[in-house]
Chains A and B, each alone.
Chain A
């Protein structure tokens, strides 16, 4: 649909910035695509359900129960959404701190994904909370013994940092140099903060389950869960960037004209990094199982086999694929491995928060159709927002103002 061509100088500000240089009529016509129709249908069902949930309560909309207090909205929207948003700090650190400038072109999309991921997770969380307005108590009641207290503070702080990081392309788009110049200068400081808050936040999401040893299956439970969550978030960040840049290159091909960079080379580099981190993660997880005296559970019963599926099929396999592909210079294989790795992270978070949680309970939790629709709608909002922003703001490329070095 939206084709970002050079905008005629005559158009009004709205026409130029919002309608991509088209008239309102042309613009609306351009929205009529199969993808948008499906998206609109999902939103038309999902968004009213969020309103309905506040009117009717969680019992009427979800399959949550007294023994299963957390379901899809926490397990998928929050746990998975935050993990997949890890590209923002991973690539941010790679470029700004480690100085690997080659990765510069994928920094902004990674930050945008992170920002949208967090915003969506927060919306999902609000739908899940019984009395979301009491969230302000986080700042006044000092629940410092709670892991969730740490999680809540990190969400607030890191979302603010992401907003500031995203403000750079945003103000660049508006042409407000007075704002974006100083922001650009403090980008290094923002990146340091983003790594700091992400380390704490990603690991704290794992720590949440340390207090429930009897409820989470011993193969997944470990007192080192905070470390596993952090490490797997790095994997998620790297893999998401691989997948996302592959998709972006197809969907937004026009944006890359004249901003050529070697996408395959970057993908291979990311694959190499992914292989190392995933390999370490695989063996540390194994170590965690041994520490937890849970080794006899491996392969035993449904959970023992399911754990093997996750660890062999979605950690070891993509790790080996990354390594092989990086060595043999097959960017395509890296991309396929990226998709498997991202699926693996989703699987891990869903396993910990839903499948392997309450493993001794006779009644299993299965999300209701309304829970699924709301989650689906939130993901759709994220994709639409990403596309809307990328088509307008300098995310996939920077607006060069004559200076070749970027500044």
Chain B
């Protein structure tokens, strides 16, 4: 316990140091080998998940959500997460007849697209890992939903005053030194909670050390510049329902070029336009009488 608290504090310090300004600028200089290595993360080993859905129930309880649906219904289709179900477990059948289960929730990116997209900073990246949502600031523009490569932020369309809803990574529990609710109840060891740097190491050991056993990819290691929820499995990731077209680079960086436009426009346009004005009106001064000053009649 004591050790846990100490690691927690160290980790907090490391996280804060690494992410002094904002998570994105800190990463832009490439100071870290593993992006977000000091952040808390979860490694999901789908080969050991038994599909008990205890994580769903614990999540619902911890977040005050309605009870999850029964097993028969839950495994009948591939369910997305929703405003009232922050996490879902889906079942996939292997050719051998064996089942694989995959728990989905917000990926808690190291450099979240949603947080960078939010114009009022209702979504913010906490230095310790969670991508947190502050409903009191949200104006409900839903740009986070557009930006997220996994469309994880969900919207309360049925409410007159709606909020965006998604997995919180149990930020408050984490702040108290506890594990996220889902991790704390997992009986199979499918959910491994720890520092991202260490979990990436562990994942690499399992995946690249047992070639026959795992699909040779760690989903979330590179996706969208790295996520704090990472997955390893023994079937293709598409079959598990993962979006394989997600870019490996940081999403906030995609708009860096476009966001460089305003400073250029604001410095260059006024002098340029005034120059054009002077140029196009230079004849007036010499030629037409009286038009010089008032060349531009409004």
Contacts and interface: CB of A to CB of B under 8 A. Distances in A.
Contacts of A129: 139-141
A97 B273 contact: yes
Contacts of A405: 290-291, 294, 297
Contact of A97 (B140, B149, B261, B276): B276
Interface stretch (B41-49, B95-103, B118-126): B118-126
A263 B81 CA distance: 58
A181 to B, nearest CB: 10
A381 interface: no
Interface in B112-148: 113, 115-122, 137-143, 145-147
A223 interface: yes
A200 B262 contact: yes
Interface stretch (B53-61, B204-212, B230-238, B264-272): B264-272
Interface of B: 22, 24, 80, 82-83, 113, 115-122, 137-143, 145-147, 149, 151, 154-163, 243, 245-247, 251-252, 254-255, 257-259, 261-262, 265-266, 269-270, 273-274, 276-277, 280-281, 284, 290-291, 294-298
A112 to B, nearest CB: 14
Contacts of B295: 99
Contacts of A57: 156-160, 162
A346 B141 CA distance: 22
B146 A69 contact: yes
B116 A145 contact: yes
9 closest pairs, A vs B, by CB?
A130-B140, A59-B157, A137-B120, A406-B297, A207-B258, A99-B280, A69-B142, A134-B139, A69-B145
A135 B143 CA distance: 13
A215 interface: yes
Interface string A90-117: 0001011111110010000000000000
A150 B24 contact: no
B162 A134 contact: no
A364 to B, nearest CB: 15
Contacts of B143: 69, 146, 148, 208
A207 B262 contact: no
A407 interface: yes
A284 interface: no
A172 to B, nearest CB: 9
Given A148-B141, A207-B258, A210-B258, A192 B270 contact: yes
A190 to B, nearest CB: 9
